[in-house]
Structure 1
Amino acid sequence: MEYRRLGKAGVQVSALSLGSWLTFGKQISDEVAGDLMTIAYENGINFFDNAEGYAGGKSEEVMGKILKAKNWDRESYLVSSKVFFGAEPKGPNRVGLSRKHVIEGCHAALKRFQLDYLDFYFCHRPDVNTPIEETVWAMNTLLQQGKILYWGTSEWSAVEIMEAIKVAKENHLIGPTMEQPQYNMIERNKLEKEYLLLFRDYGLGTTIWSPLHSGVLSGKYNNADPGDTRLHLEGLDWLKNRTLAETKIEISKKVTAIAQELGVSMPKLAIAWCLRNPNVSTVILGASKAEQLKENLTALDVLPLLTEDVMKRIEDVLQNKPFIPQY
């Protein structure tokens, strides 16, 4: 396993990490979840990603029980949660980024995890109803209390992140360390264009999600639309409609051909492509089966194959590299 600094922070994250979205507490059994975490940990993964909104809080409960049963050295792994969508039940002060929900949400997550602190705590989305200043102060309170060690954002705009950094600097507080954006061969703008000054000037770290674009870049939809995938889970019609566009399938087919020439699987190529970006601190893997995780854990082996020539061939297929004006 390779380990990378989380932006300019001193903490080291495994280049590959394991996330629980859509799987823990919903799609897979607790036993399978335990197997996946064990495989990940034994292969060098030290970061496990979660959120209050995943399975209404059940995902955190499942992960917490596994961590307690495994009794791994607490210093050997990193755990995250995210605040915004709330767990169950919902309510006017049980969602969002108000001081009340940020702090109470953290306490609830710690209880579900059965942990004393969270390594990473993310603002899962921006909250138009709460001043960013209020959220920054709430995060700083949790930092001072030792309830969290680092805080960050997820799917915020560069302007919103800059505002949080500005508030923190003006008030001598600790600003966001990392952002968790979607990043893959199809979704590129934030990481490759919008955040560039944040990387250069503030050393923002990233924990990117959906390297396979919700399975489209796995190749599983190249010739069919199998009904046992996560895109067919109840309530995920929005995901299916957004991702299963014909143009994206065509991209997957063409890049799969390149992967076959290199002698690697399409998922491994897609994950390695993300890892090649120097502004990616860690790629969050999702998995519902042990074999799937074991296969994708070897994506680091593909990095040496991604020569400039191969990358150019991939770009010729993608045709979506963000335009960055030169001034």
Structure 2
Amino acid sequence: MEYRTLGGSGLKVPVLTFGTATFGGGSEFLRKWGASDVGEAQALVSICLEAGCTMFDTADGYSAGMSEEILGQAIKGRREQVLIATKTGMPMGPGPNDRGTSREKIIRSCEASLKRLGTDYVDLYQLHAFDALTPVDEMLHALDALIRAGKIRYFGVSNYSGWHLMKMLALADRHGLPRPVTHQVYYSLVAREFEWELMPLGIDQNVGTLVWSPLSGAKLSGKIGRRKPAPMDSRAATDATWDVPEDRLFAVTDVLEKISEETGFSVPRLALAWLLTRPTVSSVVIGARNADQLRDNLAATDVILTSEQVARLDAASAVTPIYPYWHQRRSFLDRNPPPV
């Protein structure tokens, strides 16, 4: 397993991270993703560790804390072998302070996550979504307090827009506080909007990228194609996936299927391997409901795409950017080159 530096930190992380939203199945929506119990989770964690995939991503909002509890039991006795990333910010109750990322919520949520995970610290603590009602410097001071207390090692954010992240970085520098080292984002061959602003920001500010839903909610699982409707019992056929226009999806799956025939690698392996070639990507968060899915995804690290194959995938997945990015590229491309 290849290891990369996590953004601007000194921490090395595997290029694949195992996402545990499939642990617990605490809601009808999440049960369509998966519902691994402790025994199944222990087996999946063991497969990951054997492959060198030592980082595990969860959140307090996954099944109302059940994902964290199951992960904590699955790594019991193996804490020193793993890196744990969790998140806060999603609703955790009916109260007015049970959502968002206020100082009170961040600190209370972190302490609750540590108990559920059965650990004294987490390696990466992430703000799950931007909270426009809380001052950014309040968030930063709360996270700094957790770092000083030894409860978190690093922190990052998820699902921020460019100005959200840049404001946090600027305020951290102004106050001499730790910076976010990562941004966890939605990014795949059929969802490349991340490249328009957030990727250049990550390059400029040395913020690493963690990719969630790299197969776009099972759309790139290999079970769907121009002549392959999604199986009725699959996640891709339910409302627990992401909307992708069919013309965009099939343009990409056509090329993935051709390269799969040429190389013998599965469609999801190829889709994951493409992401690992992209700038700023520190790690790609994979998910699996069973051992076979997990092993196939982990094997993406064995895939080396040729420059010609990458170019074919780039062309098939390209879309016209929204304003102002199309204007920058059309009129000032020499001053605004795309990330490479």
TM-score w.r.t. structure 1 length? Answer: 0.91
Cα distance in 2 for residues equivalent to 1:319 and 1:116: 44
Does the alignment pair 1:307 with 2:306?
yes
Give the corresponding residue for 1:320: 319
Partners in 2 of 1:310 and 1:250 — Cα distance? 14
Deviation at residue 79 of structure 1 after TM alignment: 0.3
State whether residues 110 and 116 of structure 1, in contact with CA within 8 Å, keep that contact through their aligned partners in structure 2: yes
8 Å CA contact 2:252–2:313 kept in 1: the answer is: no
Q: Separation in 2 of the partners of 1:265 and 1:238? A: 23
Matches within 5 A, 1:180-191: 180-190=184-194
Task: Specify the alignment match of 1:163 in structure 2.
Answer: 167
Would you say 1:57 and 2:65 are equivalent positions? yes
The unaligned stretches of length 5 or more in structure 1 are none
1:265 aligned partner: 266
Selected match of 1:193 from 177, 188, 196 = 196
1:35 to 17, 36, 43: 43
Indicate the SS of the match to 1:64: helix
| Structure-1 residue corresponding to 2:31 | none
* CA–CA separation in structure 2 for the residues paired with 1:231 and 1:59: 22
Q: Give the C-alpha shift of residue 243 in structure 1.
A: 3.5
Matched with 1:46 is: 54
- Larger CA deviation: 290-299 vs 313-322: 313-322
1:6 — aligned with what? Answer: 6
The aligned counterpart of 2:78 is 72
Shift of 1:238: 6.5
In structure 2, the residue matched to 1:296 is 297
Cα RMSD (Å): 1.8
1:80 shift after superposition: 1.1
Verify the 8 A CA contact 2:37 2:70 in the aligned structure 1: no
Using the TM superposition, give the Cα deviation of residue 245 of structure 1 relative to its aligned residue in structure 2, in angstroms: 3.6
Q: Secondary structure at the match of 2:185?
A: coil
Displacement, 1:197?
4.1
Q: Are residue 125 (structure 1) and residue 129 (structure 2) matched?
A: yes
For the pair 1:16 / 2:16, whether they are aligned, the reply is yes
Deviation at 1:309, TM superposition (A): 1.1
- 1:246 is displaced (CA, Å) by 5.0
Q: Distance in 1 between matches of 2:247 and 2:39?
A: 37
Partner of 2:196, secondary structure, is helix
Q: Residues 254 and 208 (structure 1 numbering): CA distance in 2 closer, same or farther, change over 3 Å?
A: same
Question: Is the CA contact 1:315–1:321 (under 8 Å) kept in the aligned structure 2?
Answer: no
Q: TM-score, normalized by length of structure 2? A: 0.88
Give yes or no for contact 2:101–2:131 (8 Å, CA) kept in 1: yes
Unaligned 5+ segments in structure 2 are 26-34, 336-340
For 1:100, the equivalent position in structure 2 comes to: 104
Shift, 1:193, TM fit: 2.8
* CA contact 1:24–1:59 (8 Å) conserved in 2: yes
Among 224, 239, 242, the alignment partner of 2:241 is 239
CA contact (8 A) 1:188 1:321 kept: no
1:56 deviation in Å?
1.0
Post-superposition Cα deviations, 1:244-279, rounded to whole Å, max 9, x if no partner, equal 745314422332222221221100000000001131
CA gap 1:28/1:231 in 2 versus in 1, 3 angstroms:
farther
* CA distance in structure 1 between the aligned counterparts of 2:7 and 2:288, rounded to whole angstroms: 26
Q: Counterparts of 2:236 and 2:190 in 1: how far apart (Å)?
A: 17
The 3-state SS of whatever aligns with 2:284 is: strand
Offset, 1:321: 7.2
Which residue of structure 2 aligns with residue 254 of structure 1? 255
1:281 counterpart SS class:
strand
Decide whether the 8 Å contact of 2:216 with 2:241 is kept in 1: no
What is the CA-CA distance between 1:239 and the residue it aligns to?
3.3
Residue type at the aligned position of 1:309: E
Equivalent residue number for residue 146 of structure 1? 150
Q: Aligned pairs, how many?
A: 315
The Cα offsets for residues 58-93 of structure 1, whole Å up to 9 and x where unpaired, read as 00000011111xx1252x311011011133x33210
Q: 1:313 to 1:155 in 2, by over 3 A?
A: same
Runs (4+) of structure 1 moved beyond 6 Å? none
User: 1: distance between equivalents of 2:88 and 2:15?
Assistant: 24
The answer to whether the 8 A contact 1:165-1:176 is kept is yes
SS of residue matched to 1:217: coil
Amino acid at match of 1:270: A
Deviations 1:105-124, CA, capped at 9 Å, x for gaps: 00110011011001101010
